[in-house]
A and B are shown apart, each in its own frame.
Chain A
Amino acid sequence: MMGWGSGAVRDEEKLSSSQARQVVRRSLRMLRPYRRQVTVALVVLVVYTLAMLAGPLMVRLGIDRGLQAHDALVLNLAVVGYLVAAAVAVVLGRTQITLITRVGESFLRDLRVRVFDHLQAMGMTFFDSQPAGRLVSRMTSDVDALQTLVQQGLVMFIQNALLFVATIVVLVVLSPVLAAVCLAAMPVVVVASIRFRRDSNVAYLTVRDRVGQTLSTLQESLSGIRVVQAFAREESQNEVFVSHNRAQLDANLRAVRISARYFPVIELAGIGTMAIIVGVGGVLVHDSFITVGTVAAFALYLTNLFEPIQQLSQLFNTVQQAGAALKKLFDLLDVPSDLTERPGAVDLPETGELLVEDVGFAYDGRAQVLADVNLAVRPGERLALVGPTGAGKSTLAKLMARMYDPGEGRIGYGGVDLRDATFSSLRHRIVVVPQEGFLFDGTIFENVAIGRRGADEEAVRRALRLIGVEERFQALPQGLATAVRERGSRLSAGERQLVSLARAALADPAVLVLDEATSSLDPGTEADVERAMAGLMQGRTVVVIAHRLSTAERADRVAVVDHGELVEEGTHDQLLADRGRYAALFASWAGEQQRRHPSDLAEDAVVSS
């Protein structure tokens, strides 16, 4: 639920007119498949609005030609006319709303799917550069803003605009003089509306911003609640929250004050114009310029004149918001994926050698992380990658699965450069269990099933059985249907890793990269799982990254990464004998034991001499 916490960036919210044009053009392009429905909807909308306008015209007809002229027939005609217009409006109104929602919602469905697919196609560099909350809010609050527009705003906006324009036209036709008088108050209204639009937009953005702040404070303190309670810091968290909440209230009240100043202007303009119509219209009637019926029609049309302005001003925020949201979404769609499948990409072979050649890499705009790395992993081999924190082990692992492309050099499998491989074969053959294991808020079954598309219960059970944990999870009161809850908090740290490992067993790839995937397991279980995985991966390739050098010890070969370079390579025994970096690391690994137990040390000294 990170979408809550996205503090809006102000600049993003305002569209220049050229940007607005662009957004409109692009939306129209996306609407092209629905061209016919859109055209029909617009025609219907116009006719509908005209039908709405016909009512007061009939009243005028009835009063002038019927009542003043004492002609009952005309009066009855006017009545029937009004009735027909109203009935037509019902039918058209219904068609119009149905059409517009359908088109709008289809547009939104396309947009959601496109944005999501686009997100999924992005490389990791992109995800590194964007806070998750912001990406989520693109798909939530931004698309929701559009949905609000589609469901409530759009029809009203168009209708009100049409109504306003049409009303003015009718007024001018009825009596240009009275219309001119009637529009006397208009400049005031226009100025007030423009100011309101501007101020309320700023106020609205401030509110949005503050709401974002309040909610992200709440979200963070919910995620960190255990730390807060552990250090008994509830009170200070409260203070922080109350101040954000207060700021939100202030912003809201400011927005209210702005509208509480604007609405009276419209109200006064409306009633004031009524006074003018009656006053001036009366004089005009006295002078026989116009009829009483015209005055009556004007009075009735008044609502059509001022209500739309008020509604438009209020709707403007919704529209502006939706425009800004669309722009952000289009901008997102415009970010090209840094990882694309080349045209003519080939499938990776079933088996082969994983070859890292002269690879250099830097995260976007940062210092070099890997330089000149050369490494060959044969099928059936088990390679351990070790080295100090921040050396670049995880980075190398991610390159092997093409989560990033190397800056220099290349990585190939079975003779095919990963950049020339189809994604489907790549993701199928090479699987990484990332360091940051992540359980989804679902059941154990669902979490394992992520490992392979269309995996059924039996396949999931087999995977669990393979790493020897089926019974453990089956023994839970709800078995595999046990919900692991957010971030897997229902399970112990090691159990969470076991679920991740079962995923890998289910995926059953040609190359398996385990990035500290067993760091929370007890060494006994770890060894069991490793053995099971080794059985599964017979004849295929495993790369393990571990700080526990017992794991390295069991591997066929060890490669030591330090400061982004491959500094040593060889079997455990060779490297120990070389007394280089690995030997030093290994010494720290088990060294402390000896210092604390001099007796052991003495014994060993005897042995080694």
Chain B
Amino acid sequence: MSARRERPSRAGWQLLARAVKDQRNWVVLGVTAGLFWTGAKVAVPTLAQLAIDRGIISRDHGALLEWSLAILGVGIVSAVCTGLRRFYAFGISYRAETDLRDRLFAHLQRLHFAFHDHAQTGQLMARAATDLLQVQSFLTLIPITIGNALTVSAVVVILFVTNPGLAALALAALPLINVVAKRFASNIHPVSLELQQQLAEVAGTVEETVVGVRVVKGFGAEAIQGGKLRTRVDRVFERAVLLGRMRASFMPLLDFLPALGLVAVLWYGGHQVLSGHLSVGELVAFMTYILMLIAPLRMLGTIIAMAQRAVASATRIDEVLATHPAIVDRADGQTLPPGHGELRFEEVSFAYLPPEGGQLSDAGMPVLDRLDLHVRPGEAVALVGATGSGKSTVARLVPRFYEVLGGRITIDGADVQDLRLRELRRAVGIVFEDTFLFSDTIRNNISFADPDAPQETVEWAARRAGLHDFVADLPDGYETVVGEQGFALSGGQRQRVALARAILADPRILILDDATSSVDPTKEHEIRAALAAVMKGRTTIVIAHRPATVALADRVVLLDRGRIVAEGTHTELLATSERYRRLLAQSAREEAGSTTPQQDSEALVR
């Protein structure tokens, strides 16, 4: 996303064309209504002219009544058709917009982690909001524009038929409206785009300041943020004023040009009336027709700019839709073979690659380097290593969030790349190091993997995660809404909800990525006891930094720069690996020395 290539706008046109084609019945109806509307509308001045000439000037009451009633009749047709035209035009565009948004959402759901790593939420939101809005407003204009074009042609024909000389004179200035409107729209377009961009940056500053308010206050960075905002607000001001100036120089012109036409008609036509070549009614009709042309001509001018904008938006939308999900089921996707969760990494190499089209310099260094790891069914392995050594990366590769660059990963003998994604991910339960909870009830958060789970199951999972007592004490219990809009849970409590969520999923392989880092030792102790039950007979990978948690595992694997450098039980490694001791900041002596009071206090706890 970040490095946007210029996609040919053909893709955008195709997207728009397809959207229109999907709605073709409505388009036909809308255009038909527009046709009738045009006919009625165009008839009015002619009828009025006839009424004036044959009714008023010739003092014929009967004719006057007839023509007046004719105007009224035409008015009814025009009114009905204007309503229908509007209804169809918007119906088309809103339906198309909705369909496109559905597609966009479904597609985003399927796109791989690497895509989302690089995409900015704000940008994706803009696709679904602003860009779709552009497309929608353009689609609305299609039937309306067709109607307008017809009106213009009809009026021009009528004018020329009635009085070619006068018509030529009156219309001479009018194409300029079109030209001016077009220039206006295309001049203003880049500036308004810039303004949008500046506004987005203001929004970005506000958002990061509000969301990161604790950091801003903690470091007293108010002045920095305030300065940033002022610069951006000034830029908005500048662009907006420039936009105003452009509008100021174009808009009055758009009013002036038709007035020129009218003046010309009044002058030339007036003299024709004086010389008896034209009736007063015809003169008035002429003027009314010219007034009628103003709005459609202006619109025809802007539609071109609107179309350009809509195509640009459609192209951006298409860019997302055209990104292929990199991680999908193979055509011959296998079902997960039965087993008890034997997990193997065979010579696995991995690096975070930039998304297609990104710069290669963005490519990270290799993160995993021909890693071999064998976790026996039901075994609990602790993955230990320094910050940035690749522990979380190992965890992310098991459910195939990313594709390995070399080697393979198997679960019960099957390569994860051959498995159906849905089954694979059902079989692997992961607790991420960054807890994410949905703005929903605690119950729904826990039962995310299986929304139909009965309350007992939810409570069972919560108990295992050391959460039940706390939840039961809340006024609304499991129905308490959490997340951004809801009840503020402490860091430890949030982690435990995420833990319960993974436990409820009852996966074959459970991965806990530093899942208890914010939990106090006593609570963690309690969870460890419950976890032991969950882990029993279940393949588990625990990523942790606390010796006590690490000790929970049957085996400890020490990772360093994407390679395994030591393996064994916690005690073995403490005894044999200097690196391991350094990592846990424990010297052999310290370990032995500190146990004396511990053991005593242990008795005290019981």
Contacts and interface: CB of A to CB of B under 8 A. Distances in A.
B571 A600 contact: yes
B106 A63 contact: no
Most buried by A among B74, B583, B594: B594
Nearest to A216: B439
Interface in B85-119: 86-87, 90-91, 94-95, 97-98, 101-102, 105-106, 108-110, 113, 116-118
A584 to B, nearest CB: 5
B61 A283 contact: yes
A96 B124 CA distance: 39
Please classify how large the interface on chain B is, using the bins under 10, 10 to 19, 20 to 34, 35 or more: 35 or more
Contacts of A340: none
A264 B82 contact: yes
A271 B56 contact: no
A112 B229 contact: yes
Interface stretch (A32-40, A323-331, A371-379, A485-493): A485-493
Interface stretch (A9-17, A76-84, A408-416): A76-84
A75 interface: yes
Contacts of A75: 266-267, 270-271, 274
A270 B41 CA distance: 11
Interface residues of A, number: 207
Given A132-B211, A520-B387, A588-B605, A93 B599 contact: no
> Which secondary structure characterizes the binding site on chain B?
helix
B113 A226 contact: yes
A278 B120 contact: no
B599 A608 contact: yes
Given A112-B229, A292-B280, A493 B75 contact: no
B436 interface: yes
A89 B255 contact: yes
Contacts of B519: 389, 547
Given A494-B387, A576-B597, A440 B255 contact: no
Interface string B562-603: 000000001100000000001111100000101111111110
Nearest to B571: A597
Given A120-B226, A229-B425, A299-B288, A278 B583 contact: no
A577 B604 CA distance: 12
A472 B216 CA distance: 25
A245 B132 CA distance: 13
A384 interface: no
B173 to A, nearest CB: 11
Contact of A90 (B217, B226, B253): B253
Contacts of A428: 220
Contacts of B514: 493, 520
Nearest to B526: A588
A521 interface: yes
Given A63-B280, A139-B203, A271-B44, A82 B214 contact: no
Contacts of A401: 217-218
Given A272-B72, A274-B75, A477-B364, A119 B209 contact: yes
B491 A436 contact: yes
A368 interface: no
B101 A495 contact: no
Contact of A516 (B82, B121, B518): B518
Nearest to B427: A232
B5 to A, nearest CB: 19
Interface string A107-148: 011001100110111001001100111011001100010010
Contact of B207 (A2, A268, A437): A2
A177 B51 CA distance: 20
Contacts of B183: none
A370 interface: no
A493 to B, nearest CB: 5
A3 interface: yes
Given A522-B385, A594-B598, A279 B212 contact: no
Shortest beta-carbon contacts, A-B, top 5? A427-B220, A101-B244, A494-B387, A271-B75, A93-B252
5 contacts: A89-B252, A224-B436, A389-B493, A434-B215, A588-B525
